[in-house]
Chain A
Amino acid sequence: SQTIHQWPATLVQPVGSPLSLECTVEGTSNPNLYWYRQAAGRGLQLLFYSVGIGQISSEVPQNLSASRPQDRQFILSSKKLLLSDSGFYLCAWSLRGTQYFGPGTRLLVL
């Protein structure tokens, strides 16, 4: 069966520091992968999606970037965090239109 992992679960970072969040999927090949951000009490905002290794599409201009160095690995990064980058970050993969989410990473930028 397929599983999706995200780490870390929580992260507190100072403004201006770098960021690296990792997502890995097991049990499937060549999945579509997604990064979402969810502000407190709000819906999901799609940040990036990837249909294959090295293929990244960005939905909104922002302070973040994404990379897919391996088929089942999706990384969300920033060189310098802003206060507005705080939020709940969710990784997902999809199969036949349905998306399956990881447990999320709560990021607090101080």
Chain B
Amino acid sequence: SQQGEEDPQALSIQEGENATMNCSYKTSINNLQWYRQNSGRGLVHLILIRSNEREKHSGRLRVTLDTSKKSSSLLITASRAADTASYFCATDGWTGANNLFFGTGTRLTVIP
């Protein structure tokens, strides 16, 4: 399966701390994306990192990609209560339809 796996499954931190979530995948990719899902809502795209990139920043988000280890990490710095959500990594497929394969997600809880 091309599906990614996030680690940990759940993470609880205090507001202001940094949160790190990891994703591992099995096949070669063109890019890897991270999405966020608030409870009962649709997914929102956060950031895309291409296979030839090693690190990318967007605001308080930092994503790394290690294609040799087939892994990625998402770091949220100075977390806020509003960051509480589930975070999913997604890798692209080879069907020519821009299909994405999502992991099972990390449930982040930021305690005020």
Are A97 and B88 touching (Cβ within 8 A)? no
Are A104 and B40 touching (Cβ within 8 A)? yes
A-side interface mostly: strand
- Known contacts being A90-B42, A97-B48, A102-B42, is A43 close to B98, with CB within 8 Å? no
B18 at the interface (CB under 8 A from A): no
Contact with B along A91-110 (1 / 0, CB 8 A): 01010111111111010000
Inter-chain CA distance A43–B6, complex, in Å, is: 10
Nearest CB of B to A87, in Å: 12
Residues on B with C-beta less than 8 A from A94 are 98
Residues on A with C-beta less than 8 A from B48 are 97-98
- Known contacts being A32-B98, A43-B102, A49-B99, is A101 close to B42, with CB within 8 Å? yes
Are B41 and A104 touching (Cβ within 8 A)? yes
A residues near B, CB below 8 A?
Answer: 32, 34, 36, 41-44, 46, 49, 51, 57, 88, 90, 92, 94, 96-104, 106
